[in-house]
Structure 1
Amino acid sequence: MPERSGKTTIVDVARAAGTSVSSASVALGGQPGVSEKTRAHVLETAKRLGYQPDQRASRLRRRRSRLLGVTFAANQHFHAEVIENLYRSAEREGYDLLLTATTESRSARKAVESLLSDRCETLILISPDIDEPELERLAQSAAVVTIGSHLRAPGVDSLHADDRQGVADVVDHLVELGHRDIAYVDGGRSGEAVARREAYVESMRARGLHRHVRVIDGNPTEESGAEAATRILESGDATPSAVFAHNDMIAFGLLLTLRSRGVAVPGDMSVVGYDDTRLAALTTVQMTSVSQDAAQLATAAVGRAIERAEKAPPAREIVSPARLVVRATTGPPRPRLDE
C-alpha cells in the first residue's frame, strides 16, 4: 500500500475492510450489530493501518443517545397509531424515536440490525414477525420490549392486550345475537395471530359450537380480507352468518367485498374486526371491533424501555384490557329456511 499522508480515519478503515462506516464504527466500539467475523476483520484492518480513534469522538459516542429504536410493519394501520402514541410518551420523558419498517422484502432481522448500528438504547418491536429463539438471541445483544406480541424470551418485556378475553367477548357478542356459524379469518404466522386463532377455537368450543369452528387462511391485509370474502361466497359450503377477522384491515377488505357482491352487512352477514383503528370508526364503516388501547400500550412500553436502558430491571409481561366496541356491522342473523 502506498504511503499516505495524514491521520488514518474510520472512513479509511471501512474502505480497506470493505464495510460501511457504520459497521466499522460498531465493530471498533465493541457494540452489538455486526458478526464476530466482521468485527475481527475490522479490528485487524484498523491495527494494520495504525488507526487511532479520536478520543473526543469516543467520549461523544459514550454519551447517552436517548434514542428508542422502533420496528413496525409499514402496511399496518394499528402500528401507525401505536407509533403516534410512542412519540408522545417518549417526548414527555426526553427521549426520541428512531423508526425502521419491515416490508415484504425487508425482514425484522434487517430492521433490527439498522437500529443496533445507530446506538438505540432500547428496541421496541411492534408485533415482530420473528420466533421465540430469534427473539431470545436478539435480547442477548440489546434491551428489548415488544408490543402486541405473545412471544416470550428471557430478558424481554412483553406488552399486549388480553387477546383471549377480547376474542371471547366477540364470540359471546355474536352468540347472544343468535349466531352459531361464526367463521374466523386468520392473520398469518406471528405470535399475535396464533394467540387470537387459538382463542377463537377455544371460545367456540367452550360454547358448544365445535361443529361450527371454521378458520380461513389469511394474512393481516385488506387484500386477504377480500380474498376470504370471495372464498366464502364461492366455496359451495354453508355460508357463515358472521365472520370475525384477525384485524380491522382484513375486516375492511371483507366488508367492501361483501357489499360489492350484494351481501347486506349485517343483514346477511355480520363482520367483526380487531384493533379498533380509526378505519373502524369511520362514519361510512362503523365496524364492530376490539380495542387494544394503543395509547396505554405505548405509554407502558416507553416506560419499560427507559427502565431497561437505565436500570436493567427484571423483564415483565404486562397485559392490558381488551374492550369490545359494538357498532353497525353486527346484528342478529337472518332466519334460514331450514330453521
Structure 2
Amino acid sequence: MDELESASPAGGGTGSVRPRLEDVAERVGLSTASVSLVLRGVPGPSERTRQRVLKAAAELGYRPDRTASALASRRSRLLGVMVDVHSPFHAELVEHLHTAAEEVGYDLVLSALTRTRDENTAVETLLAFRCEALILLGPVAPASALAALDRKAPVISVGRRIAGADLDVVRTADDDGVGQIVGHLVGLGHRAIAHVDGGKGVIATDRRRGYREAMRHHGLDERISVLRGDNTEAAGEQAGRQLLESGDLPTAVVAYNDQSAIGLVTAFRRAGIDVPGAVSVVGYDDDTLSRLGSFHLTTVSQNAEEQARQAVAAAVERLDRGRTAAREIVLAPTLVVRGTTAPPR
C-alpha cells in the first residue's frame, strides 16, 4: 500500500475516497490557494468566503492531512507549550492558547512539568516534535539557558520577567499587582499585613518586592513580615500553622498565589479562625479554584486570555513575519475583590 492509499479512512474500502483540497475548491468555485488560506486560518479571505469554504469542507468531510502538509512545506505549524500540571492557572492559560493558536492556523503540543520531569526534559520533548516556537509558562531556567534555547526555536516566556537576554516576554506587572492588594487591605484599615513568599524564582522575587515597596509606601516599614513558602497549598497550610503557633496573628495575609492562599484559608478554618472575620487572606492569579464558592478568594487577575493571545501573536510574528527584535509585553493586573477580605475587627 502506498502513502496515498494509507491516507484513506480505515475501513473505507475501494468505494471510500478521502476528500481532497481540490474537491472543496470545486464545491465553492475557488482556487485551491484561496481554500488553503481559509483552512489554515491565514488573514485575507473575506468572512463570507471563509464561511462558504468551512461549510463545504464540513459537508464533504474534508480533514487536512497535517503530516503531508508539514512534509510538503517543511513546517509543522506546531507551537510547543511547557506547562506545570499542578498549576490551575497554567491549565487556564493552555485553554486560551489553544483557541488563539487555532485562529491563526497553528496547533499546540503540550509538555508537562511534574515532580520527576524537569524543564530541560519538557523542552527537549517539544523540540523532538518539531515545534516551531516554544511558549514557556513561568520558566525557571537561567536567562542564559533560555537565550541559548531561543537560538534553536523562538522562545516566548509567559509570566516571568527575563533580565539580560533578548527574549520575547508576555507578563503582568507582578509588583504592581501586589501593590494593589496591599493598598486594598490598608484601605480597609489593616496595618499588620504579612506575606507568604513564593520561593526563589523571578516571579516570587517581583511579588515579594511589590509587597515590601507597598508596605513602605503606606508607612508600614516596621510591619513588614515575610514567611517562607512556595506555590503550593501545602506551603500555605504550613505558613498558616506557623502564624497560629506564633501567637501573633496578623489581621491580613498576602499569599504568593491562589493555591498558597487556599492553603492558608484551610489552616485558619481548621483552627476555628474566621476568614475574613479574624484575618483577611488574598491570593494571586484568579485561577479557577479561587472562584469556587467554598473559597470566593480575593485575588489579582493576570488576564489569562490576553496573555495567551499575546503569546501566540508573538510566536506568529517571529515565525511568519520575520520579526527578530525581542519584545516585552507587560499587562496591567486587576484586583478582584471577593469574600476573603474585610475590615479588621
Aligned residue number for residue 262 of structure 1: 272
Tell me which residue corresponds to 1:143: 154
Q: What is the CA distance between 1:114 and its match in structure 2?
A: 1.0
Matched, 1:78 2:60: no
Show the counterpart of 1:91. Answer: 102
CA 1:226 to 1:260, structure 2 compared with 1: closer, same or farther past 3 Å? same
Contact 1:185 1:244 in 2 (8 A): yes
**2:290 aligned partner:** 280
Look up the match of 2:127. Answer: 116
* TM-score between the two structures when normalised by the length of structure 2: 0.77
**Paired residues for 1:60-71 under 5 Å:** 60=71, 63-71=74-82
Q: Distance in 2 between matches of 1:100 and 1:61?
A: 26
Kept in 2, the 8 Å contact 1:143–1:155? The answer is no
Aligned equivalent of 2:337: 326
Q: Distance in 2 between matches of 1:118 and 1:289?
A: 37
Distance in 2, matches of 1:302 and 1:97, equals 10
- 1: CA distance, partners of 2:318 / 2:177: 29
Q: Is the 8 A contact 1:152 1:158 kept in 2?
A: no
Deviation track 1:245-304 (CA, whole Å, cap 9, x = no partner) reads 011000011111110110000110000000111211112211100000000000010000
> What is the aligned partner in structure 1 of residue 237 from structure 2?
226
Which residue is 2:258 aligned to? 248
Structure 1 residues 191-230: aligned runs within 5 Å: 191-230=202-241
Amino acid aligned to 1:244: V
| Higher deviation after alignment, 222-231 or 103-112 | 103-112
**Matched residue SS, 1:284:** coil
Q: Deviations over 1:165-195 (max 9, x none)?
A: 2111100000011111111111122211111
Moved more, 138-147 or 224-233: 138-147
Q: What is the distance in 2 between the residues matched to 1:149 and 1:63?
A: 32
Distance in 2 of aligned mates of 1:228 and 1:78: 21
Which of 290, 294, 305 is residue 295 of structure 1 equivalent to? 305
CA contact (8 A) 1:139 1:154 kept: no
Contact 1:72 1:128 in 2 (8 A): no
Q: Alpha-carbon deviations, 1:213-266, whole Å to 9, x = none?
A: 111111101111111101110124x21110010110000111111101100001
Aligned length: 276
What is the distance in 1 between the residues matched to 2:282 and 2:214? 15
Cα displacement (A) at 1:153: 4.8
1:46 alignment counterpart: none
Whole-angstrom distance in 1 between the partners of 2:303 and 2:164? 24
1:70-123 deviations in Å (ceiling 9; x for gaps)? 001110110000000000000111100000011222111111111111111100
Partners in 2 of 1:70 and 1:97 — Cα distance?
7
Task: Supply the AA of the counterpart residue of 2:296.
Answer: Q
Write out the 4+ residue segments of structure 1 that deviate beyond 6 Å after TM superposition. Answer: none
**Do the aligned partners of 2:273 and 2:279 also contact (CA within 8 Å) in 1?**
yes
CA distance, structure 2, for counterparts of residue 201 and residue 132 of structure 1: 25
CA 1:92–1:153 in structure 2 vs 1: closer, same or farther (change >3 Å)?
A: farther
**One-letter code of the match for 1:271?**
V
Give distance in 2, aligned partners of 1:168 and 1:154: 27
Identity %: 46
- 1:331 positional shift: 0.5
TM-score normalized by the length of structure 1: 0.79
1:101 counterpart = 2:112: yes
> SS of 1:267's equivalent?
coil
Q: Which residue of 2 aligns with 1:152?
A: 163
Tell me whether 62-71 or 118-127 shows the greater mean CA deviation.
62-71
- Counterparts of 1:150 and 1:188, CA distance in 2: 15
Any unmatched runs of 5+ in structure 2? 1-67
Q: Is the 8 A contact 1:218 1:225 kept in 2?
A: yes
Structural RMSD (CA): 1.5
SS in 2 for 1:244: strand
